[in-house]
Amino acid sequence: MGTIQARYDASADRYRTWWEPVLAPTALTLLDDVAPGIVDESAQAAGGTPRILDVGTGTGLLALAAVSRWPRVHVVGLDGSSGMLAVATAQAETRLSAAERARLELVSGHAGRLPFDDATFDLVLSSFVLQLVPHRLTAAREALRVLRPGGRLAFVTWLVGLADDRFAPDEAFEKALDELDIEGEGEAEEARSGDYASAASAVGQLRRAGFHAVVAHAATLEHPFDRATYIDFLAEYGERDVFEDLEPGLRARLRDRTVARLARLPDRAFMWRAPVVVASGRRPATRARGARAGRTTLR
C-alpha cells in the first residue's frame, strides 16, 4: 500500500502498545458473536480442520485469539506490512504454545489480491482494515473467492463520523498548539475506500460482491483513555509526527501546555467514542433449483 504500508512498518511496535488496546474489545466481538457458528459448522460438515483467514491481521490480535480459542482451527494472518507481521510473530512466540503456533501462519499480502486458491477458507475475518483498502468491493469479492461454499466473511470497521466531533483531550492539544503558534503539516495519503457511510451501505456492498444472508449493524466503540498517559499516547503515537518535528525546547513546552490543559478536564471527558459497523455475509452454498436465497438483514 505504499505510504500506508510504510507508516505501519515504522509504527508497528507503537501500534501494539498504544492503538491495539483501543480497538481490541470491539475487534474481538467478531470471535464472540459471529465466528463460533461457522467454525462449528465447518468442523461437523467436513470432519476436518476449519480454516480461518484474518485479513489485515496487523499485530495478530484476532489471529492469535482464534488459535487460542479453538483448538482445531488453522488460522492464517495476512498483512501488507512487514513491520506488523514481525510484531505478530513476536507475539505468537510469547503468547502461544508450540502446538498453537503450528496452527498459525503469518503471510504477506493485500486484501485486494489474496494469495490463496479459490474456496480454501471457512471464515474470513477483518477488523479495522477495510477503510484502508483502495477498492473495498474488490476486497469483498476476493474474500468471497477464497471462501468455501457456505463460508462466511465477518468484519468490523469505522463508520463516517469517526469519533466525537469535539473530543476534549484532543481539543486541549489543539489549543496548546495554537498557544505556541505551532502548525501541523498534512501528510500525503494514498487513495483508500474510507469509512462506510452507514450499515445499509455495508449491506449493499456485500450483496454486490455476491454474498447472501448479509447482516450489518452500527455500534459504538468506547475506550476510556487515561488522563495520566494521554500525553504519552499523543507524543508516542497519535501526534508523534508533530512532536518529532519540533526542537527539544519547544517539544517540552508543548508537552507541558497540553498536560496543564488535560488536568483541567473532568474524568468523563476521557471516554472516547466512535461509530463502527459490524457486518457479515455468507458465500452461497450449492442449492437445489428453486431454493430460496439467503435473506438480507439490517439491524
Residue 243 lies inside a defined structural domain of this protein? no
What pLDDT, on a 0 to 100 scale, did the predictor assign at position 184? 67
**Alpha-carbon distance 214 to 217, whole Å?**
10
Contacts of 17 (CB under 8 A, 6+ apart): 236, 237
DSSP string covering 164-210, please? -TT-HHHHHHHHHHHHTT--------------BS-HHHHHHHHHHHT
- The cell for 140 is 469483498
Cα–Cα distances (Å) from 273 to 96, 195, 197, in that order, read 32, 15, 17
Residue 93 lies in a domain: yes
**Kind of pairing, strands 74-79 and 271-282?**
unpaired
In DSSP notation, 230-285 reads HHHHIIIIITHHHHHTS-HHHHHHHHHHHHHHHHTS-GGGGEEEEEEEEEEEEPPP
What is the per-residue DSSP string for 66-96?
A: HHHH-TT-EEEEEES-HHHHHHHHHHHHHHS
**C-alpha torsion sign, points 200, 203, 207, 212:** negative
pLDDT score, position 293: 39
Q: What is the number of domains present in the chain?
A: 1
Q: Are 7 and 132 in contact (CB under 8 A)?
A: no
- In this prediction, residue 33 carries a pLDDT of 80
219 located within any domain: yes
Q: Helix 82-95 to helix 3-14 angle, to the nearest 10 degrees? A: 30
Tell me whether residue 290 is in a domain.
no
Residues 179 and 249: their CA atoms lie apart, in Å, by 15
Q: Is residue 107 part of a domain?
A: yes
User: Does 244 reside within a domain?
Assistant: no
pLDDT at 31 (0 to 100): 93
CATH number at residue 103: 3.40.50.150
Averages of pLDDT over runs of 10 residues in the chain (299 residues) are 83 97 97 69 63 97 96 96 98 98 98 97 96 96 97 95 75 97 70 90 98 96 97 97 96 98 97 96 70 42
Which pLDDT does position 38 carry in this prediction? 59
Residue 249 lies in a domain: no
Per-residue pLDDT reduced to its tens digit, 216-238: 999 999 999 999 999 999 999 99
Calpha distance 267→258 (Å, rounded): 16
The CA distance from 176 to 259, in Å, is 9
Give the bridge partners for 145, in sequence order. Answer: none
Residue 117's domain spans which residues? 3-163+189-224+274-285
The pLDDT assigned to 198 comes to 95
Tell me if 109 is assigned to some domain. Answer: yes
pTM: 0.90
